Amino acid sequence: MARADFQTLPGTRDILEPDAGRVRRLVAVFAEAAAEAGFGQIVPPMFEDVGVFVRLGEATDVVAKELYAFTDKGGRDIALRPEFTASVCRSFAQNRPTTPWKTWYAGPNFRYDKPQKGRYRQFDQVGAEVIGSDDPDVDTELIALAWRFYQRLGLSDVTLLVNTLGDFAERPVYLDALRAHLEANADALSDQARSTMALNPLRVLDSKRREDAPVVAGAPLITDFLSDDAAAAWDRVQAGLDALDIPYQVAPRLVRGLDYYTRTTFEFTSSALDAAQNAVGGGGRYDGLVAALGGPEEPGAGFALGVDRTLLACEAEAVFGPDGDPVDVWVVATTAGTEGLQLVEELRNAGIRADRAYDGRSMKAQMKRADRSGAAVALIVGDDEIAAGTVSLKKLRSEAQGGQATQVPVERDRVVDRVNQVLSESPL
């Protein structure tokens, strides 16, 4: 086959059926769970003033390396969103909804990442944020919402990792201790870790390089530096997870990629995925972010779950049932007139899924197509039927079940009723 003139760009792909149907289902499961927990939806724009994202922290990879930023025709510096949280905080500062504001979202993000399986330049997330409460139960409920989502999808290889990063007040003291430790051991660190250390020492704790492991293992822990308030909140989150029977592992070196986190941070990993891309979602508390975006001093917490990777995890765990959304009725029309066209429209208007072949195929070819379509019923209109004022109805699946697939005439103006009757007798 000749190569098409254009191909999708690196890190992007067409999501076709059955994956597209699976994505729809996954988003629907999340939307339902979020609504049950009192969240309303937000649909923010896909691009914003670049400043909205730059304030996430100039040293974060998402901002420093991966932002799709450009100047538009009006001379504005804008960026495609790399995540939703900044947009949600910007929206809060702009619209000032009553607090606590609980909102969920679903949609694409853009990061100039190194493409590989499970890592794309356009990828979807679902997520939820709560702005205006620093109650640690909010953190627990957010984790519970994400957990419920994974459970409802039927995933069992998902692990919850939790940590606390303390408050901004204690962070400088901790960072000094961490920096001192890293500098004292700089010779043993990878080049990568040494350059990260200068910019953002916390991120060194995230290093997946084997040579960094001993230094990271010996690094001071933030939990030894917590203020009383932050320690009490951390205890409360763990007690909440225990009370809800949500299994978790405390991961004292979990810092996550974005600078804005305070107190609780968490990540969900799937052991069904390759280790390099096994994070299916994550989140945490970000008590300074709304103010950093020019809003009031309101605390916030939230999470985002990667739809593409969750899909890969679902595939790896084989949790999906049979795919496909076959139509109910396949219309076979061999007349020269508009009977086939009218019949499918009549069925569709009555809420019955219907399809047909085009291009004036032969009766035999159309019947073959009908059999392959997965429809429960074929409706056949030929010249004989027109003359008799009828349509022939044939059950398609009874053949496969060993029954007799007879064709029965149905009065033309009773077709919808008869089809509904047959469909209710043989549910899909």
Give 86 or 410: the residue with its C-beta nearer to ligand AMP.
Answer: 86
Crossing angle of helices 415-425 and 339-349, rounded to 10°: 60
b (16+ CB within 10 A) / e for 303-331: bbbbbbbbbbbbeebeebeeeeeebbbbb
- Which CB, 47 or 110, lies closer to ligand AMP? 110
Site map 239..258 versus ligand AMP, x via CB under 6 A: ------------------x-
Closer residue to ligand AMP in complex, CB, 281/288: 281
Contact code string over 31-70 relative to ligand AMP, x by CB under 6 A: ----------------------------------------
Measure the CA–CA gap between 205 and 39, rounded to whole angstroms: 33
Q: Quick check: 153 and 29 in contact, CB under 8 A? A: yes
Our finding on whether 104 is near ligand AMP (CB under 6 A) is no
Q: Which one of 120-128, 180-188, 340-348, 367-375 is the stretch in contact with ligand AMP (CB under 6 A)?
A: 120-128
CA–CA distance, 163 with 165 (Å, rounded to integer):
7
Per CB under 6 A, the list member of 89, 130, 160, 280 interacting with ligand AMP is 280
> Which position's Cβ is nearest ligand AMP?
306
Which of residues 15, 21, 99, 113 is near ligand AMP by CB under 6 A? 113
Subset of residues 65 to 94 that bind ligand AMP, contact rule: CB under 6 A: 83
Count of residues that interact with ligand AMP, criterion CB under 6 A: 17
What is the enclosing helix (H) or strand (E) of 104?
strand 101-110
Q: Which one, 158 or 393, has the nearer CB to ligand AMP?
A: 158
Catalogue the E-assigned strands of 218-286: 249-250, 262-270, 279-285
Residue owning tokens 């890293």? 182
Q: Does 125 bind ligand AMP (CB under 6 A)?
A: yes
Contact between 123 and ligand AMP by CB under 6 A: the answer reads yes
User: Does residue number 119 form part of the binding site for ligand AMP (CB under 6 A)?
Assistant: yes
Tokens representing 254 are 């979990």
* Helix, strand or coil, per DSSP, at residue 347: helix
User: How far is residue 377 CA from its own chain's centroid?
Assistant: 35
Task: Among 55, 81, 111, 395, indicate the residue that binds ligand AMP (CB under 6 A).
Answer: 111
Here the contacts of 107-111 (C-beta below 8 Å, separation 24 or greater) are: 107/43, 107/46, 108/46, 109/80, 109/81, 109/82, 109/83, 109/84, 110/46, 110/68, 110/80, 110/81, 110/82, 111/62, 111/66, 111/67, 111/68, 111/82
State which of positions 306-335 bind ligand AMP (CB under 6 A): 306, 308-309
**Strand duo 329-333 + 354-356: pairing:** parallel
User: Least distance in Å: CB of 122 to ligand AMP?
Assistant: 8
| Binding mask of the shown chain, residues 204 to 223, with x at each position contacting ligand AMP by CB under 6 A | --------------------
Provide the binding-site residues for ligand AMP, judged by CB under 6 A: 83, 111, 113, 118-120, 123, 125, 257, 279-282, 304, 306, 308-309
